[in-house]
Chain A
Amino acid sequence: MRKYSKLVNLNPLFLSVSILIAIVSCSTDYDANQNREYSLYSQLMCPVCEGQTIGESKASIAEDMKEMISNKIAEGQTDLEILNYFEDRYGIEILANPPKEGFNLIVWILPILGIICAMFLLVYNLNKNMKKIKK
Chain B
Amino acid sequence: MLGLHSHIKREVSIAPLATFRALFGMIMIVSILRFAMNGWIEQLYIEPQYFFSFSAFDWVRPFSKYGMYALFVLMAIGAAGIMAGWRYRIASPLFFFTFTYVELIDKTNYLNHYYFVSIIAFLLMLVPANRYFSLDVIRKPEIELTKVPGGMVNIFKLQLGLVYFFAGMAKINPDWLIKAMPLKIWLAGKTNIPLIGSLLNYKWVAYVFSWGGMLYDLCVPFLLISSRWRKFGYLGVLVFHILTSLLFKIGMFPFIMILCTLIFFPASFHQNLITRFRSVFQPVASAIILRQQVAVVKRSGNYTWRIIPIVIAIHFAIQIVIPLRYVIYPGDLFWTEEGYRFSWRVMLMEKAGSAQFQIRSANGKTEHVDNSEFLTPYQEKMMSTQPDMILQFAHHLASIYSTRGFESPSVYVNAQVTLNGRRSRPIIDNSIDLASVRYSPGDNYWITKQAG
Do A and B actually bind? no
